[in-house]
Structure 1
Amino acid sequence: MKHISSRVICFMMALAFYISLLASPLWAHFQVVLPSKNLVSQGDNSNVELKLCFAHPFEQQLMNMERPRQFGVVIRSEKINLLDTLRKKASGKGLNFWQATYKVKRPGDHVFFVEPAPYWEPAEDKYIIHYAKTVVNAYGLEDAWHQPLGLRMEIVPLTRPYGLWAGNLFQGKVLFDGKPLKNADVEVEYYNENLKIKAPSNAYVTQVVRTDERGIFTYAMPWEGWWGFAALTEAPERRKSPDGKRDVATEIGAVFWVKTEKGK
């Protein structure tokens, strides 16, 4: 048997690694911003606990999340910086996520938002930045859930994003640099917190719809719980790879989280 050089062995190992990547599913990434409740009523505890993480929601797999660049809430056109309220946490695998407590003080729609630091995804050879939002309504005053925040990319809900039943439709409009984003993929995943839902195959984990000419998409949510919608595009600019040697792409996403309830 002829001697096989170490260079050939390394090549074969690398080839096997990349084949394994192709054979394995690449789960969808979602920036998560989940409040402990999305409705605050009279007599409720006015504290809202928020969890920020970067994850595969259906599979409940965390990725490491660095400190966000922006985290705040908009209430009655006032933008409040909440970065200093964040508490860093670590999962059992040592992956960072973040928590915060916000005390609701006045009625109205509280639009929480986060801009994460760019996340390097080596399997896709690109950075990922997802601007995420969710709405908590306080004391029944519905005043701003449909207003854009002016984020670089965002989903503006056309369906009121609270008081939703399982089975309701959710409709949103995707804006990129303030303009409707047409023919864009919108990935949809269920936040399968207790892993009660089992997917019969990988195709069921992430649902995909597309925006129309006006940047609008629609999806019906079959189960009670939290649902994430992630509209995706590629930024026109390039960034340096972590080693500084290459110019690579950046995936820009707009994520919106809504909760549905089951009828009693």
Structure 2
Amino acid sequence: MKLMSLVAAAAISLPMTASAHFLLHHTDEVLIDRPGDVPMGLIFWHPMENGHAMDMEKPEEFFMIHNGEKTDLMDRVAPAIFKGKENEAAAFTASVPVKRSGDYVVVTKPAPYYEESEDIYIQQITKSVLNRNTLPTDWDQPVGLPTEILPLNKPYNVIVGSTFSGVVLSEGKPVAGAEIEIEYMAAEPDLAAFATTESTVQPMAGGSIVAITDANGVFTFGIPAAGHWGFAALGSGPVTEHNGKELSQDAVLWIHATELK
């Protein structure tokens, strides 16, 4: 009972961001067969609703970790206009150089976004993982971000019908009672056209899917469908103010699930 009260209190103390804002790292594939540059879209969007897209400013950082080595990729980031179903918005195209076998942990630290309707800033520090030749190297290691979700299952090898777990970290320490907003990429962007596609599912009738981390900062979610799933730990970061206003510094992780055949 005491633990439940502590978790509830921690969750209440965290700032609430606008529903379903997600920074996307989208690639057509997460398992890479051949060496080369993998195109990626950086889009701030409502992917499960196939809804409104938000204007992005140039990211503060865009880099990858491979075999424990960090490589700055900001020279591979270019501005673009993403064509959503409801509107067009400033976004970015990028590419990730995948050459050797192993994991490529890709990170975007965006500039804070001002959400006028709530009079707060949102900064979604986002991770995704590409892999070449099924050799695991980096997926289970923290990057050292202000806040991040450390996966406890391979994020590119999740089976539909199984569960996915992660631990929320803030300055390297687990966050108990963190609210995790969970989003399905119902309309995967067409990177060539840099535009949305038709939705494959409808938004949940009950609103956003939410989980709460336990006393060890761990959450678990059952994966019901194949595709890309996003997890956002709301307000889990140490920075809480920007330009004199409240900042929700979120940790975002994207994973990919497939059917067992």
Same fold (TM over 0.5): yes
2:14 maps to which residue? none
| Partner Cα separation in structure 2 for residue 200 and residue 250 of structure 1 | 27
| Partner Cα separation in structure 2 for residue 237 and residue 136 of structure 1 | 31
2:116 maps to which residue? 122
1:148 maps to which residue? 142
TM-fit CA distance, 1:105: 1.2
| Partner Cα separation in structure 2 for residue 165 and residue 121 of structure 1 | 35
* TM, length-normalised to structure 2: 0.83
2:60 to 66, 69, 89: 69
| Partner Cα separation in structure 2 for residue 236 and residue 95 of structure 1 | 26
Identity of aligned residues (%): 35
- Deviation per CA, 1:38-63: give whole Å up to 9, x if none: 1123xx46331111111112012311
| Partner Cα separation in structure 2 for residue 147 and residue 177 of structure 1 | 14
Q: Which runs of 5+ in 2 are unaligned?
A: 1-17, 188-197
1:106 maps to which residue? 100
TM-fit CA distance, 1:164: 1.8
1:163 to 151, 157, 160: 157
1:233 to 208, 232, 235: 235
TM-fit CA distance, 1:99: 1.1
The 3-state SS of whatever aligns with 2:75 is helix
Q: Say yes or no: does 1:196 pair with 2:200.
A: yes
TM-fit CA distance, 1:236: 5.3
Q: Say yes or no: does 1:183 pair with 2:177.
A: yes
* TM, length-normalised to structure 1: 0.82
Give the AA of the match of 2:21: H
| Matched residues, number | 229
TM-fit CA distance, 1:94: 3.9
Higher relative contact order (CA 8 A, sep 6+): 2
Question: 2:35–2:99: 8 Å Cα contact kept in structure 1?
Answer: no
- Deviation per CA, 1:198-224: give whole Å up to 9, x if none: 2362x24x2000000110000011111
- Deviation per CA, 1:69-106: give whole Å up to 9, x if none: 00011001111111111121113444111111223111
Give the AA of the match of 2:37: N
- Deviation per CA, 1:182-240: give whole Å up to 9, x if none: 00100001011131212362x24x20000001100000111111000001126554333
Larger radius of gyration: 1
Q: Say yes or no: does 1:133 pair with 2:127.
A: yes
1:50 to 10, 20, 40: 40
Give the AA of the match of 1:239: H
| Partner Cα separation in structure 2 for residue 145 and residue 104 of structure 1 | 15
1:39 to 24, 31, 44: 31
| Partner Cα separation in structure 1 for residue 240 and residue 78 of structure 2 | 32
- Deviation per CA, 1:130-164: give whole Å up to 9, x if none: 11001111112112100000000000001111122
Q: Mean Cα displacement is larger for which, 57-66 or 115-124?
A: 57-66
The root-mean-square deviation of aligned C-alpha atoms, in Å, is 1.6
2:258 to 245, 258, 261: 261
